[in-house]
Amino acid sequence: IGKLYVVGTPIGNLNEMSPRAIDTLKEVDLIAAEDTRHTRKLLSYFSFSTALTSFHEHNQETKKVEIVEKILTGKSVAVVSDAGMPAISDPGEVLVEAALQAGITVIPVSGPNAALNALVASGIAAQPFTFIGFLPRQKKERKKELEKWASFPTTLVFYEAPHRVKQMLQDSLAILGNRKIAVARELTKKHEEWLRGTIEEVVVYVEQTDTLGEYCIVIEGAADEGFNQMDNWWEAMSIVQHVDH
Ligand code: SAM
């Protein structure tokens, strides 16, 4: 009986592909990839090729059964997504569950993750934190979801599509109130940029700019006496910081 490897891949900068991730993807019999063309490019950048099969949100229910059967016959399989860690706002979770149910050993192979990168350099409490990922697209559901987290005392971490960032920030201001926020754009990439300030300041800033690229948003937890007072250093900081890579 084979094993299932859950392998992290870069979120931008290809140098973040770990030697262990490369070895794992080289050695397995099959890679279950969110987009096989995307992963084929990654493999060819590192000069190797391994058999690929597609595994995404639209075929995962049937594919998980096939993949588990393969592993039970002795083949090892790695699951990857287009970027970062599988299962984190990406396919992977249902395969892990099916593998574990079948008695298969599941091994994570660490890699980059946008949420953790954003959290650790946000300047906002790194623990406790709650990873929320994408909010619902529909305005009403999005607001309802934000309301659910409004009184949560932990730091909140979100993903958002570029064309919805302005709306998401406006909704956050309306529902969560004015809090500390850090918006990380294009992490690890050439145009990496950070916005840090109050939600109000960041809303004003993004209203005057185009929102392009990939965004991860970190917002401090609900007011707790003495816990989330704006510190002087935070207030004095310039809102936007471009990172030279
Ligand atoms: N599995 C991935 C991970 O581990 O981070 C997340 C995949 S999810 C489909 C894609 C979202 O993650 C993007 O819309 C964005 O919110 C966030 N993201 C991915 N790469 C990013 C980057 N380089 N900078 C900022 N956010 C990023």
Q: If you measure from the C-alpha of residue 11 to the centroid of ligand 1, how many angstroms do you get, rounded to a whole number?
A: 7
Predicted confidence at residue 238, as pLDDT, reads 85
pLDDT tens column, 157-175: 999 999 999 999 999 999 9
pLDDT at 62: 97
ipTM of the complex: 0.99
In the block, which residue shows the tokens 């859950």?
Answer: 6
pLDDT at 230: 64
Does 128 sit behind a cis peptide bond, omega within 30 degrees of 0 on the bond before it?
yes
- Tell me, in angstroms, the distance from the centre of ligand 1 to residue 156's CA: 15
In short, whether 98's Cβ falls inside 6 Å of ligand 1 is no
Ligand 1 binding pocket mutation candidate from 187, 214, 218, 243 (most atoms within 8 A of CB): 214
Residue 44 has pLDDT above 60, yes or no: yes
> 189: Cβ below 6 Å to ligand 1?
yes
Tokens in use for 139? 């305005």
Ligand 1 and 157: CB distance under 6 A: no
Residue 236 has pLDDT above 90, yes or no: no
Report the pLDDT value the prediction gives residue 234, as an integer from 0 to 100. Answer: 76
* pLDDT of 83 over the 80 cut: yes
Q: Is the pLDDT of residue 225 over 70?
A: no
CA of 178 to the centre of ligand 1 (A): 25
Cβ(182) – ligand 1 distance below 6 Å: no
C-alpha closest to that of 106 among 116, 126, 92: 92
State the chain's mean pLDDT as an integer: 95
Task: Please tell me the distance between residue 216's alpha carbon and the centre of ligand 1 in angstroms.
Answer: 7
- Which residue's CA lies nearest to atom 19 of ligand 1? 114
Ligand 1 site, residue 56, Cβ cutoff 6 A: no
Specify which residues 241 forms β-bridges with: 194
Residue 77's pLDDT band, with cuts at 50, 70 and 90, is very high
State which ligand 1 atom lies nearest to the alpha carbon of 112: 4
- Residue 193 Cβ < 6 Å to ligand 1: no
Higher per-residue pLDDT: 54 or 239: 54
Q: Residue of the nearest CA to atom 13 in ligand 1?
A: 214
Half-sphere exposure of 215 (CA within 13 A, CB side): 22
Helical H runs in the chain?
A: 19-27, 36-45, 60-72, 93-101, 114-120, 139-149, 165-176, 199-207, 232-236
